[in-house]
Amino acid sequence: MHKKVTLGRPLNLDNIAETFNEVSKALLVRRDLLNTWTDNLVDPELGPVGKDFHAAFVNAECKEFLGLKTTHNALFNSYAYPPFEGEEAFKNQIVYGTTVLDDAALLFSARCHEIIHALQYVHAPALHADPFNAETEAFISPRDYLLRKERIEQDAYAKGAWLCTLATDDHPDIREKMDSSMLSVKKFEELRAQHGNLHAALTAGAHAAANTLGVWVTNGPKTTAADNWHHLALKEYEAIIDRRLKDGKSITFVRMEDNDVLALGQSFGPNPFAAADGTLDPSFRQPSSFGEDIEKRLATLNAKIGITDETALPTLGSTIKNTHASRQEFLTAMRTPRKVENIRPDT
């Protein structure tokens, strides 16, 4: 049984359509409360990290919404293509499912994970070189798109678990809510005790999350979380690429270098992908191995978009230099709201 933490006025979620305004207001009430929980996080090594985490999130200008049809607990929405006429390409929003609304501990843990994703988009240029981003024609290649997905989930699971461990003294419910996560509070505490410091625990946590075995698709085989992330990422890429090719712009497919992979872990706190000297830990340079199925689909996709040698692709860094003075300028430009116009509507 899960102990429900009810905040404010109880909601009747059975009449969700009628209570939409009430529910939206309730999310705001909960957000205030969760911000208080966040502000109070203190790390034994780093001291009071909660206020910094909260401030970083505010600076990211990420919006938070309730999705009445969202089946996930929460998700971070980066780009959607094509954007509606007059909308910005970069959505930068977290959408919560109504399932978590009445459960503060679950909402807190889901929110920490999604905030990490939001912060990744503040620091990592590779996340904006995305086929769903209407503001660019430079896309991360399919293989590196899978690598990218693996790293951002590792970072979000490791840091989500870390931040949740810091909240369990005040809110013990969180521990139980995280038991089914790819990286539970219990597991993270074990890793931290075993490795003796936060940085090493985050690195180990990132590996542990990717290696978690589970059945991710109904009636599917038992595979690793990394394998599931690869499938999801490839499905996204396959779904969007025809549409982008049809729009007839000149697309450049790019590959990530070490600094691009490293930047995926710079969201908040110690970087799980960094070695002691600050460079990329070599164990994070390549994605976890792909199954035959993934390799076949990648080959088909590469053939369709004209990639014959992935190692010969231009780098993201060199491609950014063609249009922007620096990586930071590219990041700022992609994050700056600009209404998108003249994108052909879907037929």
Map residue 14 onto helix, strand or coil.
Answer: helix
> Binding residues for Zn ion, how many (CB under 5 A)?
2
Q: Taking contact as CB under 5 A, which single stretch among the options 59-67, 149-157, 279-287, 322-330 is the one that binds Zn ion?
A: 149-157
DSSP codes joined into one string, 315-337: BHHHHHHHH-SSHHHHHHHHHS-
Mutual orientation of helices 225-246 and 292-305 as an angle, nearest 10°? Answer: 20
Q: Does 82 sit behind a cis peptide bond, omega within 30 degrees of 0 on the bond before it?
A: yes
User: How far apart are alpha carbons 298 and 233 in whole angstroms?
Assistant: 11
Which residue, 156 or 307, is less far from Zn ion as judged by CB? 156
Identity of the residue numbered 83:
P
Which residue, 229 or 253, is less far from Zn ion as judged by CB? 229
Interface pattern 104-143 for Zn ion (x via CB under 5 A): ----------------------------------------
Minimum gap (Å) between residue 117 Cβ and Zn ion: 6
Which residue, 11 or 110, is less far from Zn ion as judged by CB? 110
Q: Taking contact as CB under 5 A, which single stretch among the options 43-51, 146-154, 277-285, 324-332 is the one that binds Zn ion?
A: 146-154
Minimum gap (Å) between residue 36 Cβ and Zn ion: 24
User: How far apart are alpha carbons 86 and 83 in whole angstroms?
Assistant: 8
Which residue, 162 or 330, is less far from Zn ion as judged by CB? 162
Identity of the residue numbered 25:
K
CA-based nearest residue to 342, from 248, 218, 217: 248
* Residue 156 within binding range of Zn ion, rule CB under 5 A: yes
- 213: buried, middle or exposed (CB in 10 Å: 19+, 13-18, 0-12)? exposed
Minimum gap (Å) between residue 196 Cβ and Zn ion: 27
Let me know: does 227 contact 289? Beta carbons within 8 Å. Answer: no
Identity of the residue numbered 106:
L
Q: Taking contact as CB under 5 A, which single stretch among the options 153-161, 204-212, 255-263, 335-343 is the one that binds Zn ion?
A: 153-161
Minimum gap (Å) between residue 156 Cβ and Zn ion: 4
Which residue, 111 or 128, is less far from Zn ion as judged by CB? 111
Binding site for Zn ion (CB under 5 A): 153, 156
